[in-house]
Structure 1
């Protein structure tokens, strides 16, 4: 059958678990305790000890909204004002009289001389300008003015924890997102990102974004924040604290036993012996490997490949048709036919002894080569490449020439 995306999926369904290296290749020589000092203290708890991972709990998404004036904001109101000839000539005093800052009071209003309180809290800038226009007209004042927020004090987000400069970050006319809030406090200072997380407290609910997830997913930095949000960059497990913990514990043990130097020497000796045992076991395994004493799985290459033989399936990982072909140098297109590449797989069912499934790959189309990168190999698969038609003729002629020449010599 032709090798296609669908047939690759079917072929890869055949059950196969790569052989694993012995445990001795993953063990460490640390003995677990110091002779003479007793067992080492339990290390500080962190997610890795319990096989846990930091959970991602994202806050609900917010829709961007226009800024609304709030208590504590400082509004800058610029209006026309009558000025003397001297003031008009200098322009300085006139400019000072025209621009005036007003703080929004607790009742939500600003107090404008000769007009009185004007409630603006909760309004957008457009709504506030419309309200001021109406008030100026009602008080028979030239309604030519401009309004802007010079200080944003009503809507804020607090940022603390493992950041450079913990602070309260104001929300301005532009919506504030998580990345901007962290940048505003100088960025992160967490040294061990694996166990650090960004925690967001909002309306009585705690949300969490692991720092590694935050770095890998840039879209999380665009998470919008709202007034009252509290961000804390937390380190569930800090390597510096762990090192300090072990150091202090060893010092306490030294004072208690007065034998730290001897204990460390014995620990080093025990570690050296264990390491030597491990190295011996590993060397013995490698020697058996070289002498063929370890059971392995193979894929076989035949036909017009550069090197006919067998390919050893590696430990702990799957390999593909492309891995096998190109690890062995591929094939010579002068003699091998790229249109006739076959993967032969015998049935594993004893009742179907002798039954073989063949997948055909036409590598003349470069796109089909990508299928070879997804076709997983199984033990005892055979990769066969047919010869070019011209190669068949050449080899046939080479076999015929000696016979023809021998017959001609006999006639003479």
Structure 2
């Protein structure tokens, strides 16, 4: 029995020795440096070498022209008809702008209007001790009144006094006369505390369209635009500042406004409307045609038909663009569109081919992290390679990135990829041993068990 046990131990030892002896051929993993030959040149990726790597000529494939076309451009569609012609109105299309500034004028004296707030200060008997609540230290009682719709203010013990349409001096005279008529002490002062009845509207391409109140000092054109936050013009070559006053439309091209300081100092008048208008673009095409059709005073039925035709044309063009773009995407998904690819292998999250984008360069970082990066548990961050073949030759350049220092990953954001590059990440040494052992161990146990039996 003892001899039988010794024989079994010897057989088990022999089996282990044979298995371990065969371990070197039980698992083979791809490496770069160990298999490098005369036609493989390993080059470190550094800030200096990146410039040489990126010098390899490559022009990214471009998207079809349909992706740069808008619904407002291009020729007519079959069955859709042409866009309605613009009515014959002055300056219907962008072109040179005439300078038509408003005439020089002097603002009239401010006249009180509906909604204005006036403050009336009257003398009161000084009470003994401290001043009563609401009284000024000098024995004055200050009260505010809002001008009603009928132009009057209602003063206690005096009654309604109509001051709408009067200057401040005329209003003081009217209140004085009313005080004398009612026997009140005519020792008072009157001033405007809130200017609400008159204003200048500012709109168009400004930061904050607003209504600028007119006070005793009427603002200039520059002051009104500043109150609206300043100009917000994207196409200054076609922009103009238009002032509407008493039924007349004045025009100041923005180029003249910027060049001539006198235009910025134009004196506005109460009731003026200032509008900053810019050139036409695709976003405003529909609004432009709508305005021009309305401006031509077409009959209602003709105007409706023209607008419907315009909307149908723009809608058909938009649908056609969407259909062409969807068709291109479908062909791309089916692989019917020529693309440039980079191949990811080794210890990446997903071994696959990465399509280089249209119209722009892609970097090593783009390919690595597009779908999750690489396996940090099994992948060796010190052995990241971009394998690039020399066109027409058998030579291969292995661009090596050592990412044990995470800061070196910034180099990956600058390294540009080229068609048919292979991004390869080696496995960790411990990973290589574990995988070899996982393949070897089941067969070892089976062999050993057979030997023992």
TM-score w.r.t. structure 1 length?
A: 0.53
Which position in structure 2 is the counterpart of 1:302?
345
Q: Is it true that 1:19 corresponds to 2:61 in the alignment? A: yes
1:299 is paired with a residue of what secondary structure?
A: strand
Alignment of 1:255 onto 2:255 = no
Q: Which structure would you say has the larger Rg?
A: 2
**Matched ranges for 1:240-389 at <5 A:** 246=289, 249-255=292-298, 259-348=302-391, 350=392, 352=393, 354-389=394-429
Task: Structure 2 unaligned segments of length 5 or more: list them.
Answer: 1-42, 97-205, 213-217, 239-254, 266-274
Which residue does 1:40 correspond to in 2? Answer: 86
Offset, 1:244: 8.7
- The verdict on how the C-alpha distance between 1:320 and 1:393 changes in structure 2, with shifts beyond 3 A counting, is same
Residues 1:269 and 1:378: Cα distance change in structure 2 (over 3 Å): same
Question: Structure 1 residues 25, 229: closer, same or farther in 2, change over 3 A?
Answer: closer
With structure 2 as the length reference, what TM-score do the two structures score? 0.48
SS at 2:425 equivalent: strand
Where in structure 1 are there 5+ consecutive unaligned residues?
A: 47-161, 169-180, 198-207, 212-227
Once residues 69 and 440 of structure 2 are traced to their aligned partners in structure 1, the CA distance between those partners, rounded to angstroms, is: 63
- Rounded Cα–Cα distance in structure 1 between residues aligned with 2:219 and 2:52: 56
**Distance in 1, Cα, partners of 2:321 & 2:347:** 43
Q: How does 1:108-123 map to 2 (within 5 A)?
A: none
Q: 2:436 aligns with which of 384, 391, 396?
A: 396
In structure 1, C-alpha distance between the alignment counterparts of 2:278 and 2:325, rounded to whole Å: 34
Counterpart of 2:231? 190
| Whole-angstrom CA distance in 2 between matches of 1:231 and 1:374 | 51
Alignment of 1:214-253 (within 5 A): 237=278, 246=289, 249-253=292-296
Once the two structures are overlaid, the 10-residue window that deviates more, 13-22 or 242-251, is: 242-251
Q: Structure 1's 378 and 232: CA in aligned 2 closer, same or farther, altered over 3 A? A: farther
When residues 405 and 37 of structure 1 are mapped into structure 2, their CA distance, relative to the original with a 3 A threshold, is closer
Map Cα deviations across residues 172-215 of structure 1 (whole Å, 9 max, x no partner).
xxxxxxxxx99996574213245389xxxxxxxxxx9xx9xxxx
Q: CA deviation digits over 1:98-136, x for unaligned, max 9?
A: xxxxxxxxxxxxxxxxxxxxxxxxxxxxxxxxxxxxxxx
- Tell me how many residue pairs correspond in the alignment: 259
Query: 2:390, 2:396 within 8 Å by CA — same for their partners in 1?
Result: yes
Q: What value does the CA root-mean-square deviation take over the aligned residues?
A: 4.3
Deviations 1:353-392 (A, max 9, x none): x221111100011221110011111111111111111111
What's the CA shift for 1:269?
A: 2.5
User: C-alpha distance in 1, partners of 2:385/2:397?
Assistant: 10
> CA offsets, 1:140-170, max 9 Å, x none?
xxxxxxxxxxxxxxxxxxxxxx8989669xx
TM-superposed CA distance for 1:293, in Å, is: 0.9
Quick one: distance in 1 between partners of 2:349 and 2:408?
21
CA contact 2:84–2:306 (8 Å) conserved in 1: no
The CA distance in 2 between the partners of 1:37 and 1:340, in whole Å, is: 62
Task: Give the superposition deviation at 1:276.
Answer: 2.8
Relative contact order higher in (CA < 8 Å, ≥ 6 apart): 2
**Which secondary structure does the structure 2 equivalent of 1:5 belong to?**
coil
CA 1:407/1:247 → structure 2, altered by over 3 Å: closer, same or farther? closer
1:56 aligned residue: none
1:79-94 map, 5 Å: none
Give the whole-Å Cα distance in 1 for the aligned partners of 2:48 and 2:390: 19
Query: Aligned partners of 1:335 and 1:7: how far apart in 2?
Result: 28
Contact 2:340/2:419 (<8 A) preserved = yes
SS at match of 2:324: helix
How far apart in 2 are the matches of 1:269 and 1:184?
Answer: 39
- Counterpart CA distance in 2 for 1:277 and 1:243 is 18
